[in-house]
Amino acid sequence: MAALALPFAVPAAALEPEDAAGTTEALAPATQSLIAEIDTYSEGDQSKDPEGDLVKLTDLQRRVEADGQVPPNARGLLASAFGAAHFYANRYDRAVEFYAEAARLFEEGRAPPNEIAGLLNNQATILASLGRYDEAEASHLKALAIRRGIEGERGPAVSSSLFGLGYVYYREGRVEESIPYFRDSVEQQLEFNGEDDPLAIMRLASLASVLGRSGREPEALEIARRAETLGREHLGDDHPTYAITLNNLGNALIQSGRMQEAIPVLRETLRVRLATVGENASGTAISLRNLATALKETGARAEAEELNRRALAILEANAETDTPETFAYIYADLADLAALRGDWAAYDTLAGRSLEEADKRLGEADYNRAQVHLYHADRLRQRGRIGEALEIAERWTPVLAATLIPSHKDRIYAELLLARLRQEAGSEREALPLADAAIAQLGGKLGGLGTTDRQLVREAASNRDSALLYFAIATAADDPQRAFAALQLVNISDLALSQQLAGEAEGNDGTALAARDEVLALARKASQLEARFAAALEAQDGGAETLRGELDAARGALAAAERQLRSDFPEFVARYRPAPVALTELQASLEPDELLVMPLEAERQGWTVTLDRARGLAWQPFDQAELAARAGAIRRAVDSPADLTHFPLADAAALYRMLLPDGVSAGGKLLVHGGRLLSSLPLALLLTEDWAGSLDRAPWLITRASVQVLGNLEIHLRRHESVDTLSGEMRMVGIGGADLPAGADAGVALAGLFRSGRPAIASIGELPPLPNAAEELRAIAAALPGENDLILVGPDAAEESLKRADLSQARVLAFATHGLVSGELRGLWEPALLIGTAEGSGEDGLLGASEIARLRLNADWVILSACNTASGEDAGAPAYSGLASAFAQAGARSLMLSHWRVRDDAAARLSVSTVRGASGGLPRAEALRRAQLALIADRELPGAAHPAIWAPFVIVEN
C-alpha cells in the first residue's frame, strides 16, 4: 500500500542574527563566536552523519554552558540541531525532548512566532510517529493557533498545520476525522502555492491515498490521476515528486484489482525512479516489487520473477526493509513463481529461504510467519504430500485463528485449506463443518452492504481462491448444493473487480446510492472503532470500555441501515451486491431449450459446470494449461489476422468438447456466466464438430444456438420478456464519426485534443479511419421505433456535447468510435473512448472509464461498436472489465460489446442488423446470431466468413 507523501522538515529554520542574539555587539567576542558556530549547525544537514554531529554538538553544548552568556534563541537553535541529529539517528524519544526544550527557549527569547510554530510542527510529527497522539495533537494545535494569528484562517503555513493534524488523526485510526483536514490543507496549498508546487502535488497524492483507504474509491482514483497529471505537466517526467504521484496511482490501481491498467503506470514509475534515484535505491526496489505483483497477476511470470530478483538484490545490498517479514515474503513470491513453472528443485531452495527468514525474524505467534508456512503447505498439497501439508496446517492455522477476525481473507483461506487437507487425508466428517463455517464468513463479506468496493477488490484474488477450494471440497463430496454455492462465490468475487467504478450519488439511482453511502459511512466508523478498541485492549487503556460502548452502538446502527437499504431498494442491492441464488429455483426458471454454462478457471485445473432444466447441475474438470493454449491460439487468429482464409479449427472444436461435453441443442439458447480467459472469446466461434472445409460452411456454434452472457444470476432469475426486446417509443443517442485527422500527420494534429499535449503519435497513426461510423449511427436510429433521436457526428461528436446531453432519457446509447486500452496513449492510465473535442472546451476528447461510470444512464441497451470494449485477455483480468463494467455501473442494463478491433464495414452491418432484429421483436442474442449468420453467408464482403470479421460482438445482459 502506498505510504502517505508527508513533507518532513526536521530542523527549524535559522533565525536572523539579531533575533538569535539580540544586540550581538554587546556580547563578548567568545560568545559571538559560539553563536556563529550554532548558526552553522542550524543551517546544516544532520542527516548525513548524525552520530558524528552529536559528538560535535555535545562539545559545543559544553562550551555554551561554560560561557553562560549565549541568549535563549541561540540555545534554542542548538537544541533544535540536537533534535534533528537524534531524529536521523532513529532516537525519536530523544529528538522530541530536544525539540520541546528548543520550543521553551524560543518562547523565552521571544523568537518570531513563525519559527516557534515550525518547531512545534516538527515536534508534533515525530510525536505522531511514536504513537503519542494526544501530545502530537496539542503541539499541532498550538502551531496552528500561532499560524492563524499570522496568516488568518487560510495560508500556506496554516495549510501545513492542517495537514499535520490530519496525519495525527489518520495515524490514530480516526480516518473520518482526518479527511476534512487533509482536504482543507490540499485546497489551501493549491490556492496559495499553485498547481506547480511539488509540496501541493505530494499532498494531493496523500489525500488520494487516505480517501482510498476510507472506502471512497472513485474519488481517490480521480484525485490520484489529477496528482499524476499535475506532476507530469508541471514538474516533468524526471522529477522525484512525479515518481511519488505515479507510484500512488499505480498502487491505487493494484488495490482496485485493475492490474492491466496498473502495469503501464508502474512501468513509468520505475523509469522515473531509475532516472531520479538510480538502480540501487530502496524506492526503486519498491517500484520493482509493485510492477512484479501486477505482472504476476496477469500471467507475465518470467518478467515478474526477474523484477523480484532485482528488488531482492537491492534490499539485501542496502539491508533496508520497512518490516521484518519483507525478505520472507519476497522469497515466498519467488518460490511461488518457480512452482508455477513446475521447477520444484528451485521451489524447494527458495521456499526453504522463505521459511528460514520467517523463523529467524518473526515470533511464534506472528501472523506473517504462520502465513509463510501455510503458503508452503498449499504447495505441498499440490505435490500430493498430504501428510506433510496437513501437519503444517494443523500447526499454523490456529495461529491465524488467534490473531485474525473470522472474516479475514487469510483466515478463511487457511481454514478451508485445513478442511481440504483433512478431507484428502480421509477425515471428511471433520472437514465439512470447518469448511462450511469458513465459507459462510466469505459469503457474508461478499454480500455485505457495509463492505467497501476497495476491500472486495483488494481481497478478490484470495476470496476467489477460497471459493475454489470450497468447490473442490464440494465436488469431492459429490454435493451439488455446496458446489453451486461455491461457484457463485467465485463469480461474485470476480465481479468485485468491476465494482471499483461504482458511481457516486450524482449518478444513477441517486437515492439508493445516498442510502448506500450512509451504510458505508457507518461501516467505516465501526471498522475504525474496532481498530481503536483492539489497540486500547492491548495497551490496557482505561478508555477501552467507553470504546466498547461506542462500537456496539455503531454496529447496531450499521445493521439497521443495511436492513433499511435492502428493504427500500432491492433491485439496486441485487446489482450492487449480487447474492447467491438457490440451485432449485434457478433450475426451475430455465426454459427447456436453455443451457447455462459456468466455467471455473483455476491455476492448474478448471471445471465446466452446466445447468439445464432436465438434468440439473453437472461438472467436468479440464486442464487449464490446455484451455489457455487453445484459447490463445484462437485469440491470436482473430486479433490481427494476416490471412482471412485460415483459422485454428482444431482448437475451436476441442474447446467446444471441453466446455460443452454434452453439446448444445439445435435452436437452443446458450447462457454463459463467469470465466476468465474464456471471457475474452465469444463462444459463438466454437465448432460443434471437427471440420477441415471452408469457413463459410463450418459448423459454428451459432448455427445451432444463440449465445448470451449473464452478468448477474439473481437479476436473471427475475427477468421479464419485455426487457430482452426493443419496441414502443424510445430515444436513441449516438456518437461517433468525429472529424479526426488521418495519415502521417494524424498524431501531430491530434495533439491538441489532449491536455497533456503528448499523445502517442505512433498509436494514433495506426488507428484506422471509420468512414461508416456516421452512417451506421443513423441506420441504428432508423431501425428503432420512435423519434427525438440525438445523433452527434462530425464536429458535434465531442466529449463536451455528450456530457451536456440528458442521457437519462436515452433507452439506447450507441458509440461508433475507437476504444483505447490503458497505456495506449501516453498519460492515458484507464480505458477510454476516443470521441474528440473542440478547441478550448476544457475536455481532452477521451471519455475515460471513470467518467463513464459517473454518467447518469437509464439505458436498456448500450452498443459499443468500437475497438477493445469487452474484456482483456490477460490471465488476471476480470470478466468484461474496463469500459464494459463502467457502463454497467452507470446504469446500463444490457450491453453489446466487441472483443477485438472491428473492421468498420462489418461493425456497421452487425450493429444495425442486430438492432433491426431486436426492434422487430427478436431477443437480442437471437438478433445478433442472425446478423452474424447473414454476414458469414455474404460472399460480396471480403473475408466475411472469418470469425475475426463476424464474431467480435457479444450480448451481455443485466
Contact 241/235 with Cβ under 8 angstroms?
yes
* Model confidence band, residue 1 (pLDDT cutoffs 50, 70, 90): very low
846 sits in which H/E element: strand 846-848
Furthest CA-CA distance within the chain = 107
Question: What SS3 string covers 330-345?
Answer: HHHHHHHHHHHCCCHH
Please name the amino acid found at residue 55: V
Q: What is the CA radius of gyration of the chain?
A: 31
Q: What is the 3-class SS of 533-602, one letter each residue? A: HHHHHHCCCCCHHHHHHHHHHHHHHHHHHHHHHHHHCHHHHHHHCCCCCCHHHHHHHCCCCEEEEEEECC
- Residue 8: pLDDT band by 50, 70, 90 thresholds? very low
Closest CA to 685 of 873, 956, 948: 948
Cα atoms found within 13 Å of the Cα of residue 875, Cβ hemisphere only: 18
Tens-place pLDDT, residues 449-489 = 877 666 776 677 788 899 999 999 999 999 999 999 999 88
Query: Is the model more confident about 192 or about 494?
Result: 192
109 SS3 class: coil
| Contact status, residue 886 vs residue 850, Cβ threshold 8 Å | yes
pLDDT bucket at 45, cuts 50 / 70 / 90: low
Rounded mean pLDDT of 57-63? 92
pTM of the model: 0.73
pLDDT exceeds cutoff 80 at 157: yes
pLDDT band at 65 (very low <50, low <70, confident <90, very high): very high
Is residue 227 within 8 A of residue 245, CB to CB? The reply is yes
- pLDDT above 50: residue 501: no
Cα–Cα distance for residue pair 2/221, rounded to 1 Å: 13
Cell representation of residue 402: 488467534
> What does the pLDDT read at residue 494?
65
d(CA 292, CA 306): 8
Q: What is the mean pLDDT of residues 868-886?
A: 53
Average predicted confidence (pLDDT) for the chain: 82
The residue count of the chain comes to 958
With CA atoms as reference, report the closest residue to 200 among 180, 211, 186.
186
| Cα distance between the two ends of the chain | 33
DSSP letters spanning 725-775: S--SS--EEEEEEE----STTHHHHHGGGSTTS---HHHHHHSPP-TTHHH
Looking at residue 25, its pLDDT comes to: 57
502: Cβ–Cβ under 8 A, 6 or more apart, which residues? 217, 218, 453, 576, 853, 889
Closest residue by Cα to residue 866 from 843, 882, 851: 882
- C-alpha torsion angle, residues 279, 282, 287, 290 (rounded to 10): 140
pLDDT at 630 over 60: yes
Alpha carbon distances (Å) from 592 to 486, 665, 688: 25, 10, 20
Instruction: Please name the amino acid found at residue 15.
Output: L
H-run or E-run covering 481: helix 480-496
Q: Are 711 and 889 contacting, i.e. CB atoms less than 8 angstroms apart?
A: no
Average pLDDT over residues 134-163: 92
**Cα–Cα distance, 861 to 857 (Å, whole number):** 10
From the centroid of its chain, how far is CA 287?
16
Look-up of cell digits 511519488: 244
pLDDT score, position 505: 34
Q: 220 with 259: CB under 8 angstroms? A: no
Residues near 56 by beta carbon (within 8 Å), at least 6 away in sequence? 41
Angle subtended at Cα 569 by Cα 564 and Cα 575, rounded to the nearest 5 degrees:
125
Residue whose grid cell is 500471467: 299
Query: Which pLDDT score, from 0 to 100, does residue 16 have?
Result: 36
pLDDT at site 96: 82
Closest of 58, 56, 71 to residue 24, by C-alpha? 71
pLDDT category of residue 215 using cuts at 50, 70 and 90? low
Picking from 699, 689, 648, the residue whose alpha carbon sits closest to that of residue 948 is 648
The predicted pLDDT at position 657 comes to 95
Residue range 332-365, pLDDT digits in tens: 999 999 998 899 999 999 999 999 999 998 888 8
pLDDT at 323: 67
Render pLDDT for 691-738 as a digit per residue (tens, 0 to 9). 999 999 999 999 999 999 887 787 777 765 444 455 555 688 888 876
Contact criterion met (CB below 8 Å) for 697 and 645: no
Q: What is the pLDDT of residues 726-741, one digit of tens each?
A: 555 568 888 887 665 4
CB 730 within 8 A of CB 207: no
pLDDT score, position 125: 81
Three cell numbers at 615?
438434468
Return the minimum-mean-pLDDT range out of 8-22, 25-39, 911-925: 8-22
Give me the pLDDT at residue 763, please.
47
Q: Please report the pLDDT score of residue 726 as a whole number.
A: 53
Question: What's the pLDDT at 751?
Answer: 36
Q: Cα angle vertex 103, ends 101, 106, to 5°?
A: 110
Looking at residue 491, its pLDDT comes to: 80
Phi, psi of 341 (to 5 degrees): -95, 5
What average pLDDT does this structure show over 785-808?
A: 80
Q: At 217, which helix (H) or strand (E)?
A: helix 217-230
The mean pLDDT value for 233-256 works out to 82
Q: How much is the average pLDDT of 20-43?
A: 74
pLDDT for 875 equals: 44
CA distance 817 to 792: 12
pLDDT, mean of residues 608-621: 94
The tens digit of pLDDT for each residue in 66-122 reads: 999 999 888 988 888 888 888 777 787 888 888 888 888 888 888 888 888 888 888
pLDDT digits (tens, 9 = 90+) for 565-609: 988 888 777 767 777 889 999 999 999 999 999 999 988 889 999
